[in-house]
A and B are shown apart, each in its own frame.
Chain A
Amino acid sequence: MVPVWLILIPLLTGLVSFGLQNAKAVKAWALFSTIISTTLIIAGIYFLNPSSLQFNATWLKLLGSNFSFKLDGMSKMLCLLTAASFLIIFIAINKNEYKNSKSFYALMLLMQAGFMGVFTATDALLFYFFWELALIPAYFLCSMWGGEKRIQVTFKFFVYTFAGSLIMLCGIIYLYFQTPNQTFSLESFYNLHLSNKQQYILFWLFFIAFAIKMPMFPFHTWQPDTYEQSSTGVTMALSGVMAKMGIFAVIRWVVPIFPEAVNHFSNIVIILSIIGIVYASLIAIRQDDIKRLIAYSSIAHISLMCAAIFSQNNTAMQGVLIQMFNHGIVVIGLWIVADAVEQQVGTRKLSELGGLAQKAPALAIFIVVLAFANVALPLASSFIGEFLMLSGLFQYNIIMAAIAGTTIILSSIYTLNMVQKIFYGNTVTLTEKAVDISGNIKIALTILVIIIIVLGVYPQPMFNLVK
C-alpha cells in the first residue's frame, strides 16, 4: 500500500488545499503533507514489511491494464528524492508570497503526486497516465506564476514535452499489441522478444520522449527558457525531480526492453550527450543570468548521466543511480540560492551584482559549498556519482571519457564565475541594502549541505538503497 499512499497523500492534500482560504494555512498544510510523505517513504525503506511496497489491483480489465505499483531500489530512492525535495522546497519558499497561493500549493502537490506515480508505476498505461499527470500541473504552475514571457515559454515547454509523450504512447500501444495476452504490465514488456528492426524503431519512439524530458542535446531548448521564466519554486521541482523522470524512464523503460537497440545506438547517444556536456558548459560560461546559467549547468550534468547509462557498464550505472539523487539535491540548493539573491536584490544579472558576501555571509558560505558540490569536488556527494560515471564511460571509450571529463574543468569555470560575480568584489548599488537570508532558507540549505557532505563521505547507504 505504501506506493499508493505516496500518490494519494499529495493528491488528496492537494485537492483539499484548493479549498483552503488562508495563505498561511495552505503553506502549513502543504508542509504537513510533505512531512507525512517523507516519513512514509523513509519508513517504507527502512521499517515496513517489504510486501507493503507493492500494490496490485484490477483497473481497466478490458484493456489489460492493472493498477499496479512497486517500490524497488531505484523507485525508493527517487520517491525519497521527490518527498524530500518538496519538503525542502516548501521550507525554502515559505516566506515567498504568491498570488492565489492556494492554487500554487495545490498544483505543486498534484505535481508531486504525478512524480510519485511515474516513479512507482509498473504498468505502462499507468506510467503514461502519471507522466502526463505530472505535466499538467507543471503547465499551470509555469504559466500562472513567473516572468513576463512565461505564457509563450510554457506553451513551448508543454507542446514540446507533450509531442514527445505522444510518440511514446504510440510505442506503448505497439508493445501492448506485441504482448501475448495483450497487457500493459512492465513484466510482460520485459519478456517480449522483439526483432532488431522493431527495437530500433521503438527505441527512438521511447527515447525521444525521455530525451526531451531530461533534457538532452539537441532537445534541450525548452529548458533554459522555462527554468528562467517560471517561478523559482517551480523550477526547483522541475529540475530537481522532473528532469530525473527522463533518466529514470530510460533506465526502466528503455534499457531492459530494447537491449539490442541500446547496444546499437549507444555510440550515437553518447556522442550527443558529450556534445551536450561541452556545448552546455560553454554556453553556461557566457551566461549573464543566474537562472539560465544553472539551467545550462544542469543540462551538462544530465547529459553526463545519459552518456553513462549508455556506456552499459555496471560501475557507470551505479554512478547514474546515485547521481540522480545527488544532482537533485545540489541543483535545488543552487535554485534556492538563486531565488534568495533575486528576492534580496531584485535582479538575476551577474553583471549587475557583486559583493553580496559582505552583506549575506551565511548565504555566501552555503553557495560556496553548493558550488563545489556542483563542480563535483570530493567530499561532496556528486563527486562519487561523477567519478563512477566517468570511470564507467572510460571503460566504454577512453576518448569519450576524456572529453566528457572536461566537464570538471568547464563546470568549475562557470560555477566559480557565478560565485565570484555575485558574492565577491565590492558591493554595488543594488547589493548595498541587501541583508542575510531568513531562517527558513538557512534550514533548507543546512539540510541540503548535510546531505551532500554525508553522502559524499559515506555513500554506501545510497548504494545499498539502489541495489
Chain B
Amino acid sequence: MNQLVYLIPLLPLIGFLINGLLRKSLSKSVIAIIGSGVILASFVISLVLFFQVKSSGGQIINYFNLINLDKLVIPFAFQIDQLSSLFLLIITGIGFLIHLYSAAYMHEETNEHYGRYFAYLNLFVFSMLLLVMGANYVIMFFGWEGVGLCSYLLIGFWFKNDNYNYAAKKAFIMNRIGDLGFLLAVFWMIAKIGTVNYTDVFAATSNFSSADITAITILLFIGAMGKSAQIPLYTWLPDAMAGPTPVSALIHAATMVTAGIYMITRSNILYSLSEVTQHLVAIVGLATALFAATIAIKQNDIKKVLAYSTVSQLGYMFLGLGVGAYTGAVFHVMTHAFFKALLFLGAGSVIHAMHHEQDMRKMGGLKKYLPITHITFLVGCIAISGIPPFSGFFSKDEILAAAYAKNPIYWGIGVATAALTAFYMFRLYATTFLGNFRGSHEQAHHLHESPSAMTIPLIVLAALSVVGGFFNVPEVLGGHSSLHQFLSPAITSEVVHEASHSTEYMLMGISVAVAVIAIVIAINKFSKKPELQDAQGFAKVLENKWYVDELYDNIIVKPLNSLGSFFKNIIERRGIDGMVNGVGKLVNYSARQLRLLQSGLVGGYILFMVLAIIVLIYVWINDNHILSFFYKYF
C-alpha cells in the first residue's frame, strides 16, 4: 500500500494537467468525469490507507531530497499518520462530493471555462493534500502556498468582473502576510536546529529556549491567522465569496481554512510548551468567534452569512487549540466540514434555483419549491447550532468543556457565540425557506429543485452531519471517545481535563438550552416578518462589518500607496536620480564655466601659463610635503 501513497496527490495533479491542457478538446462530461474521478480514486486510496494506519500505525515515506546542502537537508517526504490520514479522508471525501456537485452547478459555462474550473479544483485538492501529507514544514509550506494560489485562481474565476479580481488579490495578499510569519518560523527552526522535519523538530524541543518556542509558535500562528481567517487577517474570507459557490464550499469546508488548524495540531508539542502562545491562540480564536458572529447577524447575502459563520466556527477551533483540546479542534474540523459543505452546497442550490440571486431579502418560502435542499439545509442549520444528537453538538461541546476547564470566562463567551450562531443560522433559514416568496414572477416561474448530481452530495452530507458526531462520543454520554484514542499517537500533548459528570451535564444543558432559545426567537421573528429595510444605528455598523475593511484601507493600504508614490515621485525622481543627474549637470555646468576661461585672448593664456609656472615652482620647492600626502594614502 505504501507504494500507492504518492498517488494520492499525484492523481489530482494529473487531473489538473489533463483538464488544464486539453480542456478545449474534451467534452464537458469527460472533463467532469476526469475531474471527479481522480478525487474519488484518491479518496479510495486514502480510505485504505486510513484503515492501514488504524491497524498498524503511521510512517514516513521519503522520496528524494528537495534541498541537500552540507548543513541543511530538506527531504521531499510524506508523513502518513493518524492525523494526516484523517485529514486525507476529509479532503478527498468532501472534495469529491463538491466536484460531483460542481459538474452540474457549473454546466452553463463554456467548455473552456468548465475545463479550467475543474483543473483549478483539482489543483486545489492537490495542494491541500501536499499540505497535510508533507513530513516537514517546507513541504507543508508548498501546499500552504499552493492553496493560496488556487484560492486566488478560483475566487477570481469569473475574471471579467473586477470586484472578483480584487477579492482574489486580497485573499492572496492577506494569506501572504501570514505566510511570511510561517516562513520566519521555519527559518527560526533552521537557524536553531538545522532541520524542519516534524519528527526531528519535536524530538529536539530541548534545544530550543522557551523564548524560541514562543517566537516560533507565534510566528506559525500568524501563518494560521492568514490561512484560517482569524483576526486581524480574516477579511479576505468573506470577500472570497466572489468565487463560484462550490469553490466557497471547498475553501470553507474541506481545504484551505482548515490548514491553520491542521498545522497547529501537527505542532501540538511545540504549542503545549508555550503558555503565552496558547493564551494568545485561545483569545484570538474567541475574539474572532464572537466578532464574526455579530457581523453574521446583519448580513443579507446568503453566502456572506455562511462566510462569517465559517470565520466564527474557525474561531471556535482555535479556542479549542488554545485550551489544549487538539482532538476537539480536529473533531470540529471534521463535523464542520460536513455541515458547512452541506450549507454552502445548499446555498448554491438555492442560488442556482434563483438564477444567481444571493440576496436573502428577495427569497422566502422556498420550502415548497426545493424540498430536498430545504430538508438538508435544515439539517445543516441544526447541526451547526449544536443541537444533539447532530454532529455539531458533540464537537462544540468538547471544545466548550475544555474551555470551561481552562477558564470559565472562555466558556461563557463560547456559549454566547453559540447562541448567536443558532440565531443567525435560523435567521438565514427562516428568511430563505419560510414565509412567502418575495422574488420576481419570472424567478418564481423558474424555481425548481436542482438536478440529482447536486442533490446527492447534499443528501450524503446531511447524513454525515447527522451521524458525524458519533465518531467521538464522550464518555460522559456513554461513548468511547474513539477519535480521541485514534488520534492519540499523533497528538501527544492533549490536555485531559477532569470534570465531574454533573458539571458536564450542566454545561451541555446550558449550551443546548441557549441554542434552542435562540432558534425559537429567530424563527418567530423572521419567518413572518423578515428584515427587508436597510439597517439603522448599531445594526448598520454590524451590516458594514464594523467598518474593518475601511479601517484597513485607511491605515494600511492608502499609506502604503502614498508612500510608494512619495518614493516614486519625490525620492526617486528628485532625490536619487536628481543626485545622479546632478553630477552630470555639475560636469556640464563646470565645463560651461571653464569654457569662459578659453577667452581667445592670448594675453589671458599667457597669464595662466605664468601662474601655472609659479605654482609648479612652488610644488617643486615644497615637493616633500605635497607628494608625501599622496604616498600616505596610495
CB-based contact B160/A413 at 8 Å: no
The count of chain B contact residues (Cβ–Cβ below 8 Å) is: 57
Interface of B is mostly: helix
**Contact with A384, one of B67, B71, B191, B581 (Cβ below 8 angstroms):** B67
Whole-angstrom distance between the alpha carbons of A309 and B179 in the complex? 24
* Contact indicator A221/B572 (Cβ below 8 Å): yes
Are A401 and B149 in contact, with the CB atoms below 8 A?
A: no
- Per-residue CB contact flags for chain B residues 554-589 toward chain A (1 = under 8 Å, else 0) read 000000110111011001100011011100100000
Q: Is B173 an interface residue (CB 8 A)?
A: yes
Determine if A283 is an interface residue (Cβ-Cβ < 8 Å): yes
Listed residue (B71, B580, B634) with the most chain A CB atoms within 10 angstroms of its CB: B580
CB of A184 within 8 Å of the partner chain? no
A315-B72, A361-B112, A378-B141 known; A390+B568 contact, CB < 8 A = no
Q: Are B65 and A460 neighbours in the complex by a CB distance under 8 Å?
A: yes
Cβ–Cβ < 8 Å partners of B576 in chain A: 218, 220-221
Within 8 A of B (CB), among A141-191: 156, 159-160, 174
Residues of A within 8 A of B65 (CB): 460
Q: Once the chains bind, are B159 and A405 in contact (CB under 8 Å)?
A: no
Chain A: minimal CB distance from B534 (Å)? 30
Give the residues in chain B near A372, CB-CB below 8 Å.
149
Residues of A with C-beta under 8 A to B186: 391
Alpha-carbon gap, A283 to B563, bound state (A): 9
Query: Given A221-B576, A412-B172, A424-B160, do A377 and B149 touch, yes or no (CB 8 Å)?
Result: yes
- Residues 381-409 of A contacting B (Cβ, < 8 Å): 383-384, 387-388, 390-391, 394-395, 398, 401-402, 405-406, 408-409
Contact with A along B182-226 (1 / 0, CB 8 A): 011011101100000000000000000000000000000000000
Q: At the interface, yes or no: A360 with Cβ under 8 Å from chain B?
A: no
Q: Flag if A424 contacts B580 (CB, 8 Å).
A: no
In the complex, the answer to whether B172 meets A416 with C-beta atoms within 8 Å is yes
A249 to chain B, nearest CB (A): 21
A103 CB–B CB distance under 8 Å: no
Q: How far is the CA of A426 from the CA of B162 in the complex (A)?
A: 8
A405 proximity list for chain B (CB < 8 A): 180, 183-184
Residues on B with beta carbons closer than 8 Å to the beta carbon of A160:
580
Q: For residue A391, which residues in chain B have a CB less than 8 angstroms away from its CB?
A: 72, 186-187, 190-191
Given that A159-B584, A378-B142, A459-B67 are contacting pairs, would A424 and B162 also be in contact in the complex, using a CB cutoff of 8 Å?
yes
Residues of chain A contacted by B146 (CB below 8 angstroms): 377-379
Is A59 interfacial (CB 8 A cutoff)? no
Query: In the complex, are the beta carbons of B159 and A424 less than 8 A apart?
Result: yes
B580 nearest in chain A by CB position: A221
> Of the candidates B67, B141, B165, B567, which one forms a contact with A279 in the assembled complex, judged by CB atoms under 8 Å apart?
B567
Does the CB pair B165–A285 fall under 8 Å?
no
Which B residues from 322 to 379 make CB contacts under 8 A with A? none
Flag if A420 contacts B169 (CB, 8 Å).
yes
Residues of chain A with a CB closer than 8 A to B565's CB: 286
Tell me, rounded to whole Å, the shortest Cβ–Cβ distance linking A285 to chain B.
Answer: 5
Query: A357 at the A/B interface (Cβ < 8 Å)?
Result: yes
**Could you say which residues of chain B place their CB within 8 Å of the CB of A409?**
173, 176-177, 180
Nearest to A358 among chain B residues (CB) is B160
Closest to B186 in A: A391
Whether A315 contacts B180 by the Cβ 8 Å rule is no
Query: Contact: A408 with B183, CB < 8 Å?
Result: yes
Q: Which of B72, B160, B560, B634 contacts A426 (CB 8 A)?
A: B160
Say yes or no: B580 contacts A282, CB within 8 Å.
no
Is A344 part of the binding interface, using a Cβ–Cβ cutoff of 8 Å?
A: no
Q: Is the CB–CB distance between A286 and B564 below 8 Å?
A: yes
**Complex contact A420–B160 (CB within 8 A):** no
11 contacting pairs across A/B (C-beta < 8 A): A218-B579, A221-B572, A286-B567, A368-B153, A388-B72, A395-B187, A395-B190, A395-B191, A398-B184, A402-B184, A424-B165
Chain B interface (Cβ within 8 Å of chain A)? 64-72, 112, 138, 141-142, 144-146, 148-149, 152-153, 156, 159-162, 165-166, 169, 172-173, 176-177, 179-180, 183-184, 186-188, 190-191, 560-561, 563-565, 567-568, 571-572, 576-577, 579-581, 584, 634
| A390-B183, A390-B187, A412-B173 known, 4 other contacts, Cβ within 8 Å | A283-B572, A408-B180, A409-B173, A463-B67
